[in-house]
Amino acid sequence: MPVPPLPALLVVVATGALLLLRLVGGSMPWGQLMIAVGPDGRPMRPLVKWHLWTICRGEPPLMTAAVGSVSVVLGTLAIYFVGPELAEAVIHPGAHWLVYLLMFTLGASGTVVPVGVVVLVRGVLDLAARRSSMVGVVVSMRRDIGLFGRTYRVAVQAGDRVMTKKLWAEAFRVSRKNFELLQPGDRITIEYSPHLRYVYGMVLPEPLKKAAG
């Protein structure tokens, strides 16, 4: 089988890495944060893990599984072709820059494959799992500038906010439309996937449903 040229292999690895990077949704540190006020008039200061740089969190399970599988295939192909070329370059020394470039390509491929496997497994697990649901209070909201545009997240604390004041809240990525309809302190019902925390749907409070209609 003929070996593809090195630029083509670099494009393959870069494509797999970019596909995975699309699922990171990393946010810059200058986001806007809103916090709910408790019954005593003081900010609730909820305990929230926002998972700003957790890969594939909040993404659709089907798309996540597809991107993971494509990344695994591209990374495996790159390893298959680059491995022998690197061995040949080490046995018969040539240009140093070529050896370093091959080592970089092989290392990048070795990263893309296991990360792609993790993404694929999480997507498949959510496709096979039953949807989870939660009824709780929106205790915090944040709007961030992400790598691929703005991201919107809400932190929902299950149960009654008076009884669960010291419990951790669950963070979810939501659409801009739902984000603008919500306010800290609103009580909502949210349906989501158990692993990726992808939001399938939200039941808004009655005044918000009338406003949305």
**Of 53-67, 98-112, 168-182, the least confident:** 98-112
Q: What is the pLDDT of residues 9-24, one digit of tens each?
A: 666 666 666 666 666 6
Looking at per-residue confidence, does 41 or 184 come out higher?
184
pLDDT for res 88 = 77
d(CA 196, CA 63): 11
**Of 35-44, 81-90, 183-192, the least confident:** 35-44
Q: Is the pLDDT of residue 198 over 90?
A: yes
pLDDT for res 211 = 45
Looking at per-residue confidence, does 111 or 183 come out higher?
183
SS3 of the chain: helix, strand, coil, percent, to 5: 45, 25, 30
- Nearest alpha carbon to residue 183 among 204, 161, 200, 162: 204
**Of 94-98, 184-188, 200-204, the least confident:** 94-98
pLDDT for res 154 = 92
Q: Which residue has the tokens 């393959």?
A: 12
pLDDT for res 194 = 92
pLDDT for res 1 = 46
Q: What is the pLDDT of residues 144-158, one digit of tens each?
A: 876 667 888 999 988
- Average pLDDT value over all residues in the chain: 77
Q: What is the DSSP string of 68-115?
A: HHHHHHHHHHHHHHHHHHHHHHHHS---HHHHHHHHHHHHHHHHHHHH
pLDDT for res 123 = 92
Looking at per-residue confidence, does 87 or 156 come out higher?
156
- The structure's pTM equals 0.74
Q: What is the pLDDT of residues 49-69, one digit of tens each?
A: 777 777 788 889 998 898 888
Domain limits of the chain? 6-22+60-128, 32-54+130-212
Is the domain spanning 32-54+130-212 CATH 2.40.50? The answer is yes
pLDDT for res 191 = 95
Looking at per-residue confidence, does 76 or 38 come out higher?
76
Q: Is the pLDDT of residue 124 over 70?
A: yes
